Structure 1
Amino acid sequence: MMKQKRRHVTLEHVATHAGVSRSTASLALRGSSHISEATRERVQASMRELGYIYDRVAANLRSKDSSTVGLIIMELANPFYSELLVGIHHELDKFGKTVILGTTFDSPAIQERLLSTMLENRVGGIILSAVPGSSSEPINRFRDLGIPLVLINRKLQGAECDFVGVDNVEGGRIAIEHLIRKGHRRIAFLGGLPQLSTWRGRKQGYDEAHRMAGLEIDPTLVIESRATRQGGIEAIQKLLALPSPPTAAFCYNDTIAIAVCMHLQSVGLVPGRDLAIVGFDDIPEATIFSPKLTTVSSYIRLLGEHAARLLHARIDGADAPPQSVIVQPELIVRDSCSDPAKKSE
């Protein structure tokens, strides 16, 4: 026996079933305050009973403004992006926006495909953490189409759009100055890749703090890796293999810093005592791990909130040259940085 084809349920069917007009059903669907709660509940009950599925793409095509916003980030496994997502959602919920999420895993091909998908779904705007080294051409295409796009965390050369990020130079500088005040003179910079604008900013701060203190930089102490836990393990393994290891390490992010601490413990060393550690971002795990991580806070959720507000203003018609919102970082001192002299205690 052939399976009967399921009937496509329209808003007209829902309205008839609920005993209201189509316009009333539409208002109920959009959460309008112009109808009573009892009518809204009756319409929603009919939608559930009939199996009505809202065609948001079609609605966006009919409407001048889309209620959806695209968010494209590297991955959710990195706690930085999880916190960023919370900040963005928290702010966009105020404006009744729905977020369509895509993850690139730092692949230019995936980023290009996701941007095309966002266009096909008629999003009202996009927040993008750009893949390093990617072209600005697809970004500027959105501008030409009148679709607002905000870059977050990572800058992209040649992209003519709004940007929200942290002052990475200042963040790197205050991290190294803290270690120098503690008495450290050989300080490593672990993890991250030069293709990342965030890495270049933090490295500039690292260099400036050394120069201001009259300290030479040993290039063997700058070890690149992917900004992942595995990358952190690989970086600390290379560092410990050096003939003259440093007494402290500034890590590109907290994920790397925590991986470094875990590896030190696995080889019988004590993080904070045998190697002072400073991270970057202040993810929630920084206060859970032992020792609690000294880190530079980039106020991740605030970055997300700034990006969401800026994008909403653009969607709402704000007409001004591209803006850059730069959040000032703060050093959060915890337990992972002892003085070099205390190693022998």
Structure 2
Amino acid sequence: MSKVTLDDVSRAAGVSRSTASLVLRGSSRIPESTSDRVRLAMAELGYVYNRHAANMRRSESMTLGLIVTDIRNPYFAGLTMAIEEAAHEAGYTLLVGYSRDDVERQYQQLETMVQQQVDGILLLPAMGSDLNPICGIIDRSAVPVLQLARYFSEELDYVGPDNIAAGQQLGRHLSSLGATSAVLIGGPEHSSARAERIKGLESGFSGSGVTFDANRSEATRNNAAGGSEGIARVLDQGIWPDCIIAYSDAVALGIYAELRRRNLEPGRDVSVASFDDIAMAQLLLPPLTSVSTYPELIGRKAAELLLARIRDSSPEPQRSLIEPALKVRASTAQWRPRN
């Protein structure tokens, strides 16, 4: 007779494999009735959790895995350097992979890192990530996975910026300039970070008289080319907002370039603001107003939380948000409303 697996249990209980896994780990997020149904299926099928095998899988290799979408983005580069430094200080070696925002490539890299017997994995999720296959990897290997910078599930640990607070800070600042309209350019359409920044902006603009329609924002690739393409589509519609908000400083680079191709000067003809505050933001002309989301702090905190998770098998997921800070510069400070 073949061995009963967790997949068998989940099918018998009528739940997903990830839900069955969370019941097994004692998660408080699962309703008691669901938990009872899963445990009944375990008993009826004779499922036995091999804790010894899990512990054997948890023998430490002193390596960590990191999967990010694109190291060419300076924000992600800063994040990676901070994680590597924290890992090095703790005596770990960091293995790095790049998903290029491709889900299948991401899962292949996760599998490869598990085969390399890493002790834990930090994941900047590709768009469209699904919890079930990742939970499958966790169940088979007992390797903890932590999400950073953006997330797709509340059932895994997460460290990232407080994007809602960042949007609120920027919205209030732009409102104080006497602006009447604003548009958001850039960012992956279904990204948690983009959705939260929009929510924060809506809150920051609330009651100010600034027209901000999230449905008219332009989702693009998170790079300069995406910024250029996104603002071009807006301007080609005859829309000339008082404020252009870039999803990130990388996107803002493309916005600056496209505005100048059209003989429009950032900070004079239109105010431009952004998120992340990477080093180049203050070196642009004019220097770019940006909300600092501190990738170095996120990277260090994520590494620390993952290392703690390796030594603590508590099932309750941890969530840590880094407080942002608005850095006002000439791209908004020198702008004046049009007559």
Q: TM-score, normalised by structure 1?
A: 0.77
- Does residue 153 in structure 1 map to residue 149 in structure 2? yes
2:322 to 311, 324, 327: 327
2:170 aligns with: 175
Identity of aligned residues (%): 31
Shift of 1:214: 4.6
- What is the distance in 2 between the residues matched to 1:293 and 1:187? 16
Shift of 1:307: 0.4
- What is the distance in 2 between the residues matched to 1:318 and 1:268? 58
Range with bigger deviation, 198-207 or 314-323? 314-323
1:80 aligns with: 75
- Does residue 279 in structure 1 map to residue 274 in structure 2? yes
Larger Rg: 1
Deviations 1:92-121 (A, max 9, x none): 111111011000110011001101101110
* Cα 1:284–1:341 shift into 2, 3 Å: closer
1:247 aligns with: 242
1:69 to 59, 64, 80: 64
- Does residue 265 in structure 1 map to residue 241 in structure 2? no
Kept after mapping to 1: 8 A contact 2:67/2:97: yes
Kept after mapping to 2: 8 A contact 1:294/1:333: yes
Shift of 1:212: 3.3
Q: Output aligned runs, 1:1-345, within 5 Å.
A: 64-144=59-139, 145-157=141-153, 160-218=155-213, 221-317=216-312, 319=314, 321-338=316-333, 341=336
Q: TM-score, normalised by structure 2?
A: 0.79
Kept after mapping to 1: 8 A contact 2:58/2:119: no
The alignment partner of 2:330 has SS state of coil
Root-mean-square deviation (CA), in Å? 2.0
Q: Structure 1: give runs of 5+ residues left out of the alignment.
A: 1-60
Deviations 1:160-184 (A, max 9, x none): 2210011111111111111110111
Kept after mapping to 2: 8 A contact 1:143/1:161: no
> Aligned partner of 2:152: which letter?
L
Deviations 1:169-213 (A, max 9, x none): 111111111111011110111111331000100111122223232
- What is the distance in 2 between the residues matched to 1:310 and 1:262? 39
- What is the distance in 2 between the residues matched to 1:120 and 1:333? 47
Q: Structure 2: give runs of 5+ residues left out of the alignment.
A: 1-55
Range with bigger deviation, 107-116 or 263-272? 263-272
* Cα 1:212–1:66 shift into 2, 3 Å: farther
Shift of 1:318: 5.7
- What is the distance in 2 between the residues matched to 1:314 and 1:220? 39
Shift of 1:302: 0.3
